[in-house]
Structure 1
Amino acid sequence: MASSLPSMSEKRKMPSSDNVNGNQPKKNHWSAGLSAAVDDESIQVYKDDLCTVINDKFPKARIHLLVIPNENITNLKSVNNAHLSLLKHMLKVGKETAEKVAAKANACGSFAHFRYGYHAIPSMSLLHMHVISQDFISDSLKT
């Protein structure tokens, strides 16, 4: 018997993960939110010529940062060898910023250890690296 319930992709349309041509969703679409964040100085934790760091809007731990390249890179499928130095820089900036934020918060234990990574199939239409503390304590976590 076939289910009459809509699938997850029917409930909320996700941006295409094969969007390698740089076709961005409409500016006001929720998945384009990171583009606005890169330009909003009030939410920036750090910014340099290559990338911007912001706090995740729905943190999954006490420290949950997003490192976003200033260059318009849609997703992981858009990354090529020319981006290697940028990705290394993003990791370096993510580590340094996380350590500074943790020190400022007087973090210790697992709170001061971090995971770094990208979504294979992102919900947001701009490449971004997550920096998440290991505590995974947050009201935004689903149980």
Structure 2
Amino acid sequence: MSFKYALVPYIRAPEKHPSVVLYYDENVSIIKDAFPKGKVHLLILPRNEETSKKRSQEAFKDEKTRKLLEGYVNQGVELAHKAFNKTWKRIDGDEQKKMKIIVCCHSVPSLNNLHIHVLTTDMCGKNMKNKKHYNSFTTEFAIKFDEFPLKEDDYRLQDKGRCESLLKQDLFQENAS
């Protein structure tokens, strides 16, 4: 099976992968990302086959789909906070502060199944290896969940080339378009 279909086992049979799957029900699987870009990096995978085959830009045009997944996004954020706090301690001692979390989908996904990234903003996961990785979460290449549905004139709906160019820009150049 091609790498583009790497998420299929967690969608079809999450119960067979307890070391990777943190939560599942009939609607979603929430898994640990195999190639984390933050200290904590999770993926929310819709289990509906029709939804799973869509790009986020299309799937979240449907208000019912977006609303359904919104609850799971909140759950994913809580799971990410718990995972972070279990491993890491704040150096300022203020345990009430929570680590910032990014919730997004890539405008040009690398995998064929719809997945929502939930990750800490530290950007120092063990698989953060190059500027493409960094830029995929810190530029408009990453469509924040609360931006959905995108406006009809948003270039990220159709301009794959422009989206991919964001991965090549210099680091720390916020939201250059």
Report the TM-score when normalising by structure 2. Answer: 0.58
Question: Pick from 106, 118, 124: which aligns with 2:111?
Answer: 124
Distance 1:81 1:111, change over 3 A: closer
1:141 aligned residue: 128
Matched, 1:29 2:2: yes
Distance 1:139 1:122, change over 3 A: same
Distance 1:57 1:82, change over 3 A: same
Encode CA deviations 1:80-118: one digit per residue, 9 max, x unaligned. 223122221221121121122122224437982211101
Report the residue type matching 1:97 in the other structure: L
Secondary structure in structure 2 of the residue aligned to 1:98: helix
Distance 1:107 1:44, change over 3 A: farther
**Whole-Å Cα distance in 2 between the matches of residues 92 and 139 of structure 1?**
25
Query: Which deviates further from its counterpart, 131-140 or 33-42?
Result: 33-42
| Unaligned 5+ runs, structure 2 | 92-96, 131-177
**Whole-Å Cα distance in 1 between the matches of residues 125 and 119 of structure 2?**
11
What CA RMSD, in Å, does the superposition of the two structures yield over aligned residues?
A: 2.1
1:84 aligned residue: 66
**Whole-Å Cα distance in 1 between the matches of residues 63 and 104 of structure 2?**
18
1:99 aligned residue: 81
2:101 aligned residue: 114
Distance 1:114 1:78, change over 3 A: closer
Higher relative contact order, structure no. (Cα contacts within 8 Å, ≥ 6 residues apart):
1
Q: Which consecutive aligned stretches of 4+ in structure 1 deviate over 6 angstroms post-superposition?
A: none
| Unaligned 5+ runs, structure 1 | 1-27
**Whole-Å Cα distance in 2 between the matches of residues 131 and 103 of structure 1?**
15
Matched, 1:41 2:14: no
Report the TM-score when normalising by structure 1. Answer: 0.71
Distance 1:128 1:55, change over 3 A: same
Report the residue type matching 1:133 in the other structure: T
Distance 1:82 1:111, change over 3 A: closer
**Whole-Å Cα distance in 2 between the matches of residues 104 and 90 of structure 1?**
21
Q: Is the Cα–Cα contact under 8 Å of residues 111 and 135 in structure 1 kept in the other structure?
A: no
Matched, 1:61 2:48: no
Percent of residue pairs bearing the same amino acid type: 24
Report the residue type matching 2:102 in the other structure: R
